[in-house]
Amino acid sequence: MEEREISQAVIGRLPRYFRYLGELRDKGIERISSQELSALMKVTASQIRQDFNNFGGFGQQGYGYNVEFLYHEIGKILGLNQQHHFIIVGAGNLGRALGNYINFEKRGFIFRGIFDKDPALAGQEVRGIKIMPMTEMEEFIRKNEIDIGVLTIPKAGAVEAAEKLVKNGVRAIWNFAHVDLNVPEGIQVENVHLSDSLMKLSYNLRNGSSN
Amino acid sequence: MEEREISQAVIGRLPRYFRYLGELRDKGIERISSQELSALMKVTASQIRQDFNNFGGFGQQGYGYNVEFLYHEIGKILGLNQQHHFIIVGAGNLGRALGNYINFEKRGFIFRGIFDKDPALAGQEVRGIKIMPMTEMEEFIRKNEIDIGVLTIPKAGAVEAAEKLVKNGVRAIWNFAHVDLNVPEGIQVENVHLSDSLMKLSYNLRNGSSN
């Protein structure tokens, strides 16, 4: 199946399907029609069918979708049947919060290390893992085959840190630094710009637009 | 000027313009053409002009844009010339990280209170503000005219907390809980679903799509 051409908009919606299907599964629901899923998720049934058709459709509409099957198929598409090893760069509150979030592990994202340039933090632990000095990061990445780097440092150091990550084999960056990164072709970046998100909320608060 | 019809896609891009213009201003740059801004931000000049035309255009293309003027105009559109008062619901690592983030204050978002259901946390401080028990939240919102609630609690308690926020006058929710909230018409919700973001990164890592 050719998945490369699928738009980022569709891909961005897959985790939400995955979340709803997981909740249905946990409630013991075995089948659901696109109409029922539509009402639950507040997207049109046509949107759901179009999204699923990018991946071959996942089953007969007349009988609805098999929840367990659909949950696992979408999980596979999202790569959640594989393990990814990540490190966190920056052991401030946000870095610690992400390191402590055990749900990532359930999805195959394994927390392997956390680094900070502040030597005073070295030796403190985040979920049983000692904070290491930044000077040890590059060797650690190479030795431990880290594939995801999580950037939770201020923007001043983020560009240089991203370069080090990529140079040592990291293939994906989850970027919380308030800066856009320039990375080589083939390196994936997913930005979480919290200030941007808050400003969007501010706009909508002022203008009273509906969701 | 009628701003209500502007799409969420355009609104979602405004904070990024604001960020780049702020950086240009800090470097002492007074004017910039849409071509230069295009090269810097890696969006087409046509996209920039279309986005700005939603707000009247902001100045003559031949001479480029006045950076200071454009920065302030976009800031006003985003409501950053007004003050917003927010509380944080949930004093875990993520709640503390957001409470400690002083850049929000520079944009007019004033941190007023933080609440947690764990009585053991009561009295601990986040940036000089004592963590309060959840039982005091509703009265605090009413007395202090809080307009934004930040939800950083697990999804189990998030729906109930959101109802309490809205019932007591909060008009906007910045939702980090891993659940979609049902709120009355006119209440703004901005979701930051971190797991969804990480799954999107996982998909792109597996499929090697370009950014």
Asked if A109 lies within 8 A of B202 by C-beta distance, the reply is yes
Structural fold of domain A8-77? Arc Repressor Mutant, subunit A (1.10.10)
Asked if A18 lies within 8 A of B199 by C-beta distance, the reply is yes
- What's the pLDDT at B106? 87
- Structure tokens that stand for A35 in this block: 């109409």
- What's the pLDDT at A59? 72
Q: Is the pLDDT of residue B4 over 90?
A: no
Average pLDDT over residues B142-163: 95
Q: Is the pLDDT of residue A2 over 70?
A: no
- What's the pLDDT at B34? 87
Domain B84-196: CATH superfamily is NAD(P)-binding Rossmann-like Domain (3.40.50.720)
pLDDT tens sequence across A188-211:
999 999 999 999 999 999 887 554
Average pLDDT over residues A61-90: 91
- Structure tokens that stand for B155 in this block: 């999804």
Residue of chain B whose alpha carbon sits nearest to that of A179: B19
- What's the pLDDT at A58? 78
Minimal Cα–Cα distance from A89 to chain B, Å?
A: 15
Percent residues over pLDDT 70 in chain A: 95
DSSP-assigned letters across all residues of A72-108: HHHHHHTTTTS-EEEEEE--SHHHHHHHT-THHHHTT
- What's the pLDDT at A123? 87
Of B26-30, B46-50, B133-137, B157-161, give the lowest mean pLDDT range: B46-50
* H/E segment holding residue A148: strand A148-151
Residues B208/A184, Cβ–Cβ less than 8 Å: no
Q: Is the pLDDT of residue B210 over 70?
A: no
Helices (H), chain A: 8-26, 34-41, 45-53, 67-77, 93-99, 103-106, 137-144, 155-167, 194-207
Domain ranges of chain B: 8-77, 84-196
Asked if A202 lies within 8 A of B104 by C-beta distance, the reply is no
Identify the CA nearest to B88 among candidates B121, B126, B122: B126
Minimal Cα–Cα distance from A98 to chain B, Å?
A: 8
Average pLDDT over residues B39-47: 92
pLDDT tens sequence across B91-113:
998 999 999 988 888 889 999 99
Minimal Cα–Cα distance from B87 to chain A, Å?
A: 13
Q: What is the mean pLDDT of chain A?
A: 91
DSSP-assigned letters across all residues of B74-109: HHHHTTTTS-EEEEEE--SHHHHHHHT-THHHHTTE
Mutation for testing the A interface, residue in B105, B188, B193, B197 having most A CBs under 10 Å: B188
In this prediction, residue A60 has a pLDDT band, given cuts at 50, 70 and 90, of low
Residue partners of B76: CB distance under 8 A and separation at least 6: none
A168 phi and psi angles, rounded to 5 deg: -100, 10
Query: Distance between alpha carbon B35 and the CA centroid of its chain, in Å?
Result: 28
Q: What is the pTM of this model?
A: 0.88
ipTM: 0.88
